[in-house]
Copies of this chain bind each other. A is one copy, B any other.
């Protein structure tokens, strides 16, 4: 039997994206599904590879954001059957390893990212989806297929980054009393009452207003952060952030540290959500957060940390880094997204045929497009 062929977007090196013929994927495991892809997104994190910042081999199919129809399923797939329209979370998760079982699906021991040297992605006519029951999701009636592309990665990732920042900020108010409890030997004067940082009076900075950063901005506002600053150098992105309720700050025009200090009595922001993924952004994030504040970093960082241990000690830094655990927050994130879809009406700016994918990468990399989707 002759192998069936398909068109796929292949990474051949930095700034070298080629659409070429590949073998159509087949079921390899009982938990696999094969999707016929309808639309696939180009994600900001694809640019790390495109620009050559991310060390990788070449030859794999790009893309970790895609909507399609189930074409076939392995014998162990129970939630989905051929003909159903679905979306995929950006990396497969087995739901059986210790990390998946404990909600850390971002660190699934068997879950490589789509569109990497470990697993062909979805910018192609067909894609193989490992662990289909947990990696795929249905598309709710109230969300369009195009908008659901935003739920594959960028919205849950931005949601996770802002949610972590805000929950940690509120929890840092508390002491260990809930653990120890009981009666103290010490006089009551030893237990002073402290004021708490409330959401209403909190100042949250979202550093980076690419697609993920804008999702973080929206999340911070929806979760109730009092003042949200949005930082970028692209005016069009800052305008979107402003519509979402943030105060836009332009990296190239505004004295950002001075502005943040002036609205926080010189302290700095209570929390910073960093979604850029380079050293200068991380350094600015560090400089903007106040002592004992929270730095929630979801940008993909390749190099060194741009602050010293002494600086982190001296600031009592509390930082979390790494990619989002999408599965445990998916339901919550989808609820927030579905209720605020109007904010994303103009989010997808370019719809490009798969054959012209190289052009799509080019304009996205040059910030000439907010969000590009490839159509089959």
The stretch among A183-191, A239-247, A361-369 that forms the contact with chain B is A183-191
Q: How would residues 319 to 363 of chain A score, 1 for a CB under 8 Å from any chain B CB and 0 otherwise? A: 111110101111110111011000000000000000000000000
Query: A138: which B residues are within 8 A, CB to CB?
Result: 187
- Residue A179 CB within 8 A of the other chain: yes
With A103-B175, A315-B322 known to touch, is A334 a contact of B190 (CB < 8 Å)?
yes
* Extra contacts besides A313-B321, A317-B321 (20): CB < 8 Å: A98-B265, A99-B291, A103-B175, A106-B316, A167-B179, A175-B328, A176-B329, A184-B331, A185-B335, A186-B331, A301-B310, A303-B310, A304-B308, A304-B309, A305-B305, A305-B307, A313-B322, A316-B323, A318-B319, A319-B320
| A residues neighboring B (CB under 8 Å) | 79, 95, 98-99, 101-104, 106-107, 134, 137-138, 140, 142, 159, 163, 166-167, 171, 173-180, 182, 184-187, 189-192, 194-197, 223-224, 265, 267, 279, 282, 291-292, 297, 300-310, 312-323, 325, 327-332, 334-336, 338-339
With A107-B292, A223-B180 known to touch, is A327 a contact of B98 (CB < 8 Å)?
no
The complex places the Cα of A104 from the Cα of B308 at a distance, in Å, of 21
With A163-B179, A279-B309, A335-B186 known to touch, is A192 a contact of B327 (CB < 8 Å)?
yes
Is A312 a contact of B321 with CB atoms below 8 Å?
Answer: yes
Is B316 a contact of A322 with CB atoms below 8 Å?
Answer: yes
Is B313 a contact of A305 with CB atoms below 8 Å?
Answer: no
The complex places the Cα of A330 from the Cα of B194 at a distance, in Å, of 13
Query: A167: which B residues are within 8 A, CB to CB?
Result: 171, 174, 176, 178-179
Query: A315: which B residues are within 8 A, CB to CB?
Result: 322
Is A140 a contact of B312 with CB atoms below 8 Å?
Answer: no
Query: A174: which B residues are within 8 A, CB to CB?
Result: 167
Query: A313: which B residues are within 8 A, CB to CB?
Result: 297, 300-301, 321-323
With A320-B316, A321-B316 known to touch, is A332 a contact of B192 (CB < 8 Å)?
no
The complex places the Cα of A333 from the Cα of B42 at a distance, in Å, of 52
Query: A166: which B residues are within 8 A, CB to CB?
Result: 179
Q: How far is the CB of A155 from chain B (nearest CB, A)?
A: 13
Is A103 a contact of B322 with CB atoms below 8 Å?
Answer: no
Is A191 a contact of B322 with CB atoms below 8 Å?
Answer: no
Q: A292 is contacted by which of B106, B189, B265 (Cβ under 8 Å)?
A: B106
Q: A173 is contacted by which of B103, B180, B192 (Cβ under 8 Å)?
A: B103
Is A336 a contact of B180 with CB atoms below 8 Å?
Answer: yes
The complex places the Cα of A43 from the Cα of B267 at a distance, in Å, of 30
In the complex, 10 of the A-B residue pairs with CB atoms within 8 angstroms, ordered by the A residue number, are A107-B291, A107-B292, A107-B316, A182-B335, A185-B338, A186-B335, A301-B308, A301-B309, A305-B305, A316-B325
